Chain A
């Protein structure tokens, strides 16, 4: 209990110190950096994974490849990939390091989008086509809305993962919130390490909550009952 108290106290002292809230190493700057990197990586992951997942789910072709690909991506070690990107690059490592960060977010989006579309009731697809929807309309007006709970779950998982990987990527030279941990560990400044960790945890929780809110906002009440696990 004592250790917990000390930990909270030292983290709080570090977080509440005015000096840590300004300048290029200040919390607002690092947080903004972290958000920027995360958004960038997530954007590219979505760009690749969402259309691919939609296509494979809709056409039913290549499902096995998607499953195996996602499994392989899950097995890749984050730290190894970001370090490899940094070691192979010359100059500013920021963009090269963000590539594996985005790559690792591909799996959850791909798998959940694919599964979501695949699980759409065949009767529903049949009814949609039978009423005169063309294939695009079937996808946009029937399949995607019904698959939305799983697609959102995939996006949420990917977003949380990106926030986490971007933290680890600080070791390979990326800015953002991970810097506090890496730099703090290097000089044994534990209040900074713990303070940084606390901010990262808070950010992850906020992202999680944002997705809960997004789900409330965009999901049809007719679908609220499905996929309760998410």
Chain B
């Protein structure tokens, strides 16, 4: 960094607004698709884990092992199957990461339904499926959304690592900034990532409020 250069050149940001918006959009796409896929897989998997208890320990261990694999290594190991610049090379590993957070949360959420509530539901004549859809899943929502929030924030912060294999949304600002030794670009990339993460988190909090009105009244009463 040369002496006279300011840390942030605001004019660069102004002149690249459209470019940055495009990158942010792509970044969101790359990070949210895995969360959606993760939810689609983890809800039935979590239900299976609560219905058949023996399923859970191996699933939990796999989730733990998956979580411990460094992201860059996992991206690299997928290159031969999905290709260097393919979105899938990013989306599949990121989906696996979200599973390591979402599956335990779905299971915890479903198990949260207390025995009296479940017995009351059975006593009122709820069938198994109806009980799952109308009692267990709604009660599990707050815990599941807590997991979705963590998975989303992690996913958004991880996507930029994908730039090292040529595909990382806002991550291109980091590699480009490194090559040009241009701090503005790097700082903007970090700031935008954090803004996206916080915005997504705020949306999820709102979604939870809308989905679980009973939790809101509960808090007001407390």
Q: Which of B34-66 touch A at CB < 8 Å?
A: 60, 64-65
Q: Would you give the 0/1 interface string for B76-91, flagging 1 where the beta carbon is closer than 8 Å to chain A?
A: 1101110000000000
Q: Which of B151-178 touch A at CB < 8 Å?
A: 153-154, 156-158, 160-161, 163-165, 168, 170-171, 173-175, 177-178
**10 closest A-B pairs by CB:** A164-B70, A75-B197, A197-B73, A80-B190, A197-B76, A200-B73, A77-B193, A83-B174, A77-B160, A84-B186
Q: Would you give the 0/1 interface string for A76-90, flagging 1 where the beta carbon is closer than 8 Å to chain B?
A: 111111011011101
Q: Which of A180-215 touch B at CB < 8 Å?
A: 181-182, 185, 190, 193-194, 196-198, 200-201, 204-205, 207-208
Q: Do the beta carbons of A3 and B194 come within 8 Å of each other?
A: no
In the bound complex, how far is the Cα of B64 from the Cα of A204, in angstroms? 11
Q: How far is the CB of A147 from chain B (nearest CB, A)?
A: 20
| Minimum CB distance partner of A10 in chain B | B80
A-B contact pairs, 8 of them (CB 8 A): A7-B77, A71-B201, A72-B194, A74-B153, A76-B190, A164-B71, A164-B72, A229-B60
Residues of B within 8 A of A (CB): 1, 60, 64-65, 67-74, 76-77, 79-81, 104, 108, 150, 153-154, 156-158, 160-161, 163-165, 168, 170-171, 173-175, 177-178, 181-183, 186-187, 189-190, 193-194, 197-198, 201
Q: A78-B161, A208-B65 are in contact. Are A178 and B72 (CB under 8 A)?
A: yes
What residues of A have a CB within 8 angstroms of the CB of B190 in the complex? Answer: 76-77, 80-81, 84
Contact of B163 among A74, A79, A87, A181 (CB under 8 A): A79
Q: How far is the CB of B31 from chain A (nearest CB, A)?
A: 11
Contact of A80 among B153, B160, B197, B201 (CB under 8 A): B160
What residues of A have a CB within 8 angstroms of the CB of B164 in the complex? Answer: 79, 168, 171, 181-182, 185
What residues of B have a CB within 8 angstroms of the CB of A75 in the complex? Answer: 153, 156-157, 193-194, 197-198
Contact of A193 among B76, B161, B189, B201 (CB under 8 A): B76
In this complex, how many residues of chain A approach chain B with their Cβ under 8 Å: the count is 44
Q: Which of A57-99 touch B at CB < 8 Å?
A: 71-72, 74-81, 83-84, 86-88, 90
In the bound complex, how far is the Cα of B67 from the Cα of A163, in angstroms? 12
What residues of A have a CB within 8 angstroms of the CB of B67 in the complex? Answer: 160
Q: Do the beta carbons of A197 and B77 come within 8 Å of each other?
A: yes
Q: How far is the CB of A104 from chain B (nearest CB, A)?
A: 9
What residues of B have a CB within 8 angstroms of the CB of A207 in the complex? Answer: 68
| Minimum CB distance partner of A212 in chain B | B64
In the bound complex, how far is the Cα of B189 from the Cα of A197, in angstroms? 26
Q: Do the beta carbons of B186 and A80 come within 8 Å of each other?
A: yes
Q: Do the beta carbons of A83 and B186 come within 8 Å of each other?
A: yes
Q: Do the beta carbons of B171 and A77 come within 8 Å of each other?
A: yes
In the bound complex, how far is the Cα of B170 from the Cα of A76, in angstroms? 12
What residues of A have a CB within 8 angstroms of the CB of B69 in the complex? Answer: 201, 204-205
A172 sits at the interface (CB 8 A): yes
A112 sits at the interface (CB 8 A): no
- Main SS of the interface on chain A? helix
Q: Do the beta carbons of A88 and B178 come within 8 Å of each other?
A: no
Residues of A within 8 A of B (CB): 3-4, 6-7, 71-72, 74-81, 83-84, 86-88, 90, 160, 163-164, 167-168, 171-172, 178, 181-182, 185, 190, 193-194, 196-198, 200-201, 204-205, 207-208, 229
Q: Do the beta carbons of B68 and A77 come within 8 Å of each other?
A: no
Q: How far is the CB of B156 from chain A (nearest CB, A)?
A: 7
Contact of A87 among B68, B104, B168, B177 (CB under 8 A): B177
| Minimum CB distance partner of B186 in chain A | A84
Q: Do the beta carbons of A74 and B154 come within 8 Å of each other?
A: yes
What residues of A have a CB within 8 angstroms of the CB of B1 in the complex? Answer: 87-88, 90
What residues of A have a CB within 8 angstroms of the CB of B182 in the complex? Answer: 87
What residues of B have a CB within 8 angstroms of the CB of A193 in the complex? Answer: 76, 79
What residues of A have a CB within 8 angstroms of the CB of B154 in the complex? Answer: 74
What residues of B have a CB within 8 angstroms of the CB of A204 in the complex? Answer: 68-70, 73
Interface centre among A4, A75, A197, A198 (most CB of B within 10 A): A75
